[in-house]
């Protein structure tokens, strides 16, 4: 991985007309280009949602499998639960991507995904307890399917939003996407052995509320100049 990262840093952007023309004359210039989106308030407002997308992915990998699936279905049930989560994620990604046409549609789709995951989080936090029997076995599978809906929405819509909002610096914008996602994933894996399920659910719910609120503020910031020009 380290060798791959070093080699990527040595790559230069190719111009469509002049393949041999290097855009970045040095590593410092390329680094400056990568961090340039951080000066844009739109990126600052979008970063919390990007980070939450990493948190919710790590939550299903590290916490959902350990604290919700395993006590009910056992270790052998983890694969089936994750398969249902993955299938739901794929279907939702395809559907959400098909209906994405601009900022308005992306806002609506993200809102649906955020509401679905918020319902799951608050239900787990306030009402959930392991149940025996067929119903008890079905609940973790159903939770996994719902969580996959939210993940599919975030995967497609964040990519669409970065392409729409940062058309001139797409590479740098997508670099920010992976940086913040990976950092958030690491946080969950470091915290999961040390805190309770209730504390993790509170952290996830708070992160979702804050990130979604800032995302709605982002839509207002983007729409305001458009309405003024109109």
Count: domains in the chain: 1
Question: In this structure, is residue 138 part of a structural domain?
Answer: yes
18 confidence band (pLDDT: 50, 70, 90): very low
**What is the rounded distance in angstroms from the CA atom of residue 203 to the CA atom of residue 155?**
21
- Specify the CATH number for the domain of residue 73: 1.20.1250.20
Number of C-beta neighbours around residue 89 at 10 A: 24
- Domain of 152? 37-224
Q: Report which DSSP code applies to 168.
A: G
**What is the rounded distance in angstroms from the CA atom of residue 172 to the CA atom of residue 155?**
17
CA triplet 204, 205, 211: central angle to 5 degrees? 85
Question: In this structure, is residue 66 part of a structural domain?
Answer: yes
Record the tokens describing residue 193, joined without a space.
């052995």
Do 173 and 37 form a contact (C-beta atoms < 8 A)? Answer: yes
Name which of 4, 39, 36 is nearest 23 in CA terms.
Answer: 36
Q: What is the reported pLDDT for 214?
A: 96
Q: What is the reported pLDDT for 21?
A: 42
Question: In this structure, is residue 115 part of a structural domain?
Answer: yes
Per-residue pLDDT tens over the stretch 152-178: 999 999 999 998 998 888 888 999 999
Name which of 76, 193, 196 is nearest 125 in CA terms.
Answer: 196
Per-residue pLDDT tens over the stretch 81-93: 999 999 999 999 9
Question: In this structure, is residue 19 part of a structural domain?
Answer: no
Q: What is the reported pLDDT for 99?
A: 87
Do 201 and 124 form a contact (C-beta atoms < 8 A)? Answer: yes
Question: In this structure, is residue 14 part of a structural domain?
Answer: no
Question: In this structure, is residue 18 part of a structural domain?
Answer: no
Question: In this structure, is residue 75 part of a structural domain?
Answer: yes
Whether residue 229 is predicted with pLDDT greater than 80 in this model: the reply is: no
Question: In this structure, is residue 211 part of a structural domain?
Answer: yes
Instruction: Tell me if the pTM is above 0.75.
Output: yes
Cβ density class 120-148: b for 16+ within 10 Å, e for less: bbeebeeebeeeeeeeeeebbbebbbbbb
101 confidence band (pLDDT: 50, 70, 90): confident
**What is the rounded distance in angstroms from the CA atom of residue 7 to the CA atom of residue 52?**
29
Integer-rounded Cα radius of gyration of the chain: 20
């Amino acid at each position: 991985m380290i060798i791959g990262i070093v080699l990527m840093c040595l790559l230069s952007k190719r111009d469509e007309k002049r393949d041999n023309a290097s855009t970045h004359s040095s590593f410092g210039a390329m680094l400056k280009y990568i961090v340039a989106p951080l000066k844009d308030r739109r990126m600052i407002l979008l970063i919390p949602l990007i980070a939450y997308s990493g948190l919710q992915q790590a939550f299903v990998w590290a916490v959902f499998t350990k604290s919700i699936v395993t006590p009910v279905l056992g270790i052998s049930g983890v694969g089936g639960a994750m398969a249902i989560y993955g299938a739901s994620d794929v279907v939702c990604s395809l559907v959400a991507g098909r209906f994405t046409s601009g900022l308005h549609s992306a806002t609506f789709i993200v809102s649906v995904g955020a509401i679905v995951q918020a319902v799951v989080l608050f239900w787990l936090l306030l009402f959930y307890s392991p149940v025996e029997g067929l119903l008890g076995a079905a609940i973790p599978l159903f939770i996994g399917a719902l969580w996959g809906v939210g993940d599919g929405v975030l995967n497609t819509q964040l990519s669409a939003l970065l392409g729409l909002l940062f058309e001139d610096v797409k590479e740098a914008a997508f670099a920010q996407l992976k940086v913040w996602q990976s950092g958030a994933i690491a946080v969950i894996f470091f915290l999961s052995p040390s805190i309770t399920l209730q504390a993790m659910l509170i952290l996830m719910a708070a992160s979702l509320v804050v990130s979604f609120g800032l995302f709605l503020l982002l839509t207002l910031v983007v729409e305001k100049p458009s309405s003024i020009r109109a």
